[in-house]
Amino acid sequence: MTTMLYTSDHEWLAIDGDVATVGITDYAQQQLGDVVFVELPKLGRVLKKAEAAAVVESVKAASDVYAPISGEVLATNPELAAEPALVNSDAQGKAWFFKIKIAEKSELGGLMDEAAYKAHTA
Amino acid sequence: MLAPDDQKSLKRTPLYDLHVSLGGKMVPFAGYDMPVQYPAGVLKEHLHTRASAGLFDVSHMGQLRLRPKSGKVEDAARALERLVPQDIVAIAPGRQRYAQFTNEDGGILDDLMVANFGDHLFLVVNAACKDADEAHLRANLADACEIESLAGRALIALQGPKAEMALAKICAAAPAMKFMDAGSHEVAGLACFVSRSGYTGEDGFEISVPAEDAERLAKMLLENLDVMPIGLGARDSLRLEAGLCLYGHDIDTTTTPVEAALEWSVQKSRRTGGARAGGFPGAEKILAHFEHGASRRRIGLRPEGRAPVREGALLFADTVTGEPVGKVTSGGFGPSLNAPVAMGYVPAALSALGTKLFGEVRGQRLPLTVAAMPFVKNTYKR
């Protein structure tokens, strides 16, 4: 069963066992506007929590996507690299950025559930 | 982000309420609270302008009138030639020309449009420079001209292939105008100044209208389904694709018109050997640049991949050498090209079309090529 968690930087995590799938929230894509380029982390890269892991660029500006938790990058989304506009059309579905092997389960405790995230963006 | 105090001190154009009612996302720009985009978003707004017509609020820009004390517009033109390297005298009544205020070092204080309205000159200058420009004019032209700031007027740009059709419905004079024609015309019965020009590379118009009538005029134009409101975001991507300079970024007090690849804007009459050669601030340096070339030059750049190479990115001649050879001054994504585009300065020796360079983005040197501008063919009605 998948659990959804969120960060205050507007990333979502779908937790499935010891793997987290990471993307940016619908709220974040609305703020960014039309996404024209996405840079994804290299496979096998070991990310530390809060370090810049990916980049999402709109016509106007570039924004970092931070690693919400520590761990190794297991997969990145080839469809997203080919079609960055997926972020606008399906931010919390097809437009996942990368999958990460959860290094420290305890880091999940600092993340928000859906209700808390909704309150955060209200 | 601005502190609340700064937000409060932002000025509003006469179209502020309209922007908010249209769902404009308001941001601070040159001291004004301006729409960066509307709900359609930068991409759609950009593409709509190239395919149909876009309406832009550029009321933050400065509008000035130079009235000759002698009553002869040629005297105002001669006086203005003290401050710009352009031939102002040769601007025929009803015509407009692109110009730059230069400084003693040959740098650019601002770029502007100058129109001959028959008995006076009409100037449009950049928002961020307008107070300094007015002071500059008063300090240097007061002997020959009455200088009047037209702060009570709004400025609306209508740009794109359907701009003529949209404006023709309420301005009978519009269809007969050619690129860079300018004059007083009635638009919807209002006393407007209309020029056939703009900042997108598209055919289009700029309409100066009394502030109190601006919203009514804008709404009238927006009633046309071909016309969509366009924010500053798309204004920037449109002008970048058109290869047009943004003051304070691509040109400033450290760049001469020659370095900025604006030679075309300096007429022969003001160059060495011309009828009124020199006589503008920084003439010595600028004319020397004409004669011997400048050591650096503004160029267009096309990155190879899809990653935008943005303003401030350092440019390198290869992937290993330590020292940068130049810098990107404007860069982003060109929606009409569906590819990134940029402009910047490099040494003259590296400015030839086709030269391979590298732009540093997040620590990586991405390949890019010196390319001709405009990146998108302009559609001016000559």
pLDDT at B30: 95
Segment B54-60 mean pLDDT = 98
- Per the CB < 8 A criterion, the answer to whether A91 and A34 are in contact is no
- pTM reported for the whole predicted model: 0.95
Using a CB–CB cutoff of 8 Å, tell me whether B35 touches chain A: no
Q: What is the dihedral of CA B219, B220, B225, B231, to 10 degrees?
A: -40
Segment B164-175 mean pLDDT = 98
Cα distances from B150 to residues B51, B130, B171, B271, in angstroms, run: 33, 11, 22, 32
Enumerate domains of chain B plus CATH numbers. Answer: 1-246 (3.30.1360.120), 263-371 (2.40.30.110)
B residues 336..355 contacting A (CB < 8 A): 340
pLDDT at B304: 97
What is the residue type of B123?
A: L
Work out the mean pLDDT of chain B and round it to a whole number: 96
| CA atoms within 13 A of residue A9's CA, in its CB half-sphere | 17
pLDDT at B321: 82
pLDDT at A1: 75
pLDDT at B7: 58
Q: Are the beta carbons of A33 and B236 separated by less than 8 Å?
A: no
The model's confidence at residue A60, banded by pLDDT at 50, 70 and 90, is confident
Instruction: Please give the angle made by the CA atoms of B92, B96 and B98, to the nearest 5 degrees.
Output: 125
Instruction: Give the span between the Cα atoms of A29 and A93, in whole angstroms.
Output: 12
Nearest to A33 among B42, B236, B362 (CB): B42
Write out pLDDT tens, residues A61-109: 999 999 999 999 999 999 999 999 999 999 999 999 999 999 999 999 9
Q: Are the beta carbons of B340 and A37 separated by less than 8 Å?
A: yes
pLDDT at B300: 98
> Of B86, B139, B148, which is closest to residue B120 (Cα–Cα)?
B148
pLDDT reading at B1 higher than 50: no
Q: Is A106 helix (H, G, I), strand (E, B) or coil?
A: helix
pLDDT at B177: 98
pLDDT at B5: 46
Give the relative orientation of helices B232-241 and B42-51 as an angle to the nearest 10 degrees. 50
| DSSP states of B299-323 | EEEEESSSS---TT-EEESSSS-SS
pLDDT at B6: 55
